[in-house]
Amino acid sequence: MAKLPPRLSPEETQRVVAAAFDEPPPYSKVLLEHAISKGELMALMKRELTSPAYKLWTSKAKGVKAPTVKARWPYGK
């Protein structure tokens, strides 16, 4: 089941949408700054954007992987 979009005020919604649309994938800054999950961000963007704009936004994320984090001692070398 898909996540429900978060309930935000119209001003907060505009800030989240603008930040997510301008930031390069994987949108970690938006997720951390606004304390929403990836599924909630996807649902919010789908609700707020037009269909062509949503497709453009999702196409930016395809093929881009999150940067890998090196293991640190004591759990890695």
Sign of the torsion angle spanned by Cα atoms 15, 18, 19, 20: positive
Number of domains in the chain: 1
What value, to the nearest 5°, has the Cα angle with vertex 59 and ends 53 and 63?
165
Name the helix (H) or strand (E) containing 55: helix 51-61
Confidence of residue 1 (pLDDT cuts 50, 70, 90): low
Has this prediction a pTM greater than 0.85?
Answer: no
| Count of alpha carbons within 13 angstroms of residue 10, beta-carbon side | 0
The confidence score (pLDDT) of residue 52 equals: 93
The confidence score (pLDDT) of residue 30 equals: 84
Domain housing 40 = 1-77
